[in-house]
Amino acid sequence: MSDQLTVLIMGGGGHAAVVVEALLRQRPEVRIVGIIDERPEQARSRVWPAEVLGGDEQLARFSPQQVWLVNGIGSVGMAAPRRQMFEQGKRLGYRFLSVIHPTAVVAAQVQLGEGVQIMAGAILQPGCGVGDNSIINTRASIDHDCQIGAHSHIAPGVVLCGGVSVGHESHIGAGAVVVQGLRIGMRSIVGAGAAVLHHVADSHRVIGVPAREMQG
């Protein structure tokens, strides 16, 4: 492989714009060959460093051996669309490039899965692990020995204290705090600004200070 990476951006919305900015700061040599979005006209309302090509059928134009994918689909309480894009790309033989903003602090002992995205100002301390296709968003703080499952989203400003476990496809809302040693179950949602003081079961939603199960 040459020194220049060639990538396609999957998605043309707000998260994709943030990811492209981080990617170009991390790897100025990257060549973005296109933006793929099922709503191309909406995607074209933004300024991109490459052409908006159209929907997912455009993947057939490229070789998975020569082009990397970057998942620009966001995740606001619904992990499924982002996960489905990752799984579709993998079925077609593509690899997903991880994106780490240069201002993020990632300890040497952190284990990162494929296609992970770590945004500006985020911190990951020693002993942490982040599963495939997960987002650690702007200024999130992940302390020692936390484990984040695949396809999860740790939203801007979240604080996870030491030893927290987050199950796959979970969403921790902006500004939430999870105290040390707790488990957030898979496919669970922690509301923005919540203070989590107890374990959260699989597929549950909690909100508030202290966090309590959301009714209805």
Integer Cα distance of 87 and 81 in angstroms: 10
168 belongs to the catalytic site: no
Give pLDDT, residue 105.
98
pTM assigned to the model? 0.95
In the block, residue with structure tokens 């396809």: 151
Tens-level pLDDT at each residue, the chain (216 residues): 346 799 999 999 999 999 999 999 999 999 999 999 999 999 999 999 999 999 999 999 999 999 999 999 998 767 899 999 999 999 999 999 999 999 999 999 999 999 999 999 999 999 999 999 999 999 999 999 999 999 999 999 999 999 999 999 999 999 999 999 999 999 999 999 999 999 999 999 999 999 999 876
Give pLDDT, residue 1.
38
Give pLDDT, residue 216.
60
Out of 101, 144, 151, 153, pick the active-site residue: 144
Integer Cα distance of 46 and 13 in angstroms: 8
Q: What are the chain's domains?
A: 6-97 (3.40.50.20), 100-209 (2.160.10.10)
Integer Cα distance of 119 and 140 in angstroms: 8
Give pLDDT, residue 214.
82
Give pLDDT, residue 50.
95
pLDDT tens across 146-194, in order?
999 999 999 999 999 999 999 999 999 999 999 999 999 999 999 999 9
The CA distances from residue 105 to 25, 147, 163, in Å, are 15, 16, 18
Integer Cα distance of 37 and 214 in angstroms: 33
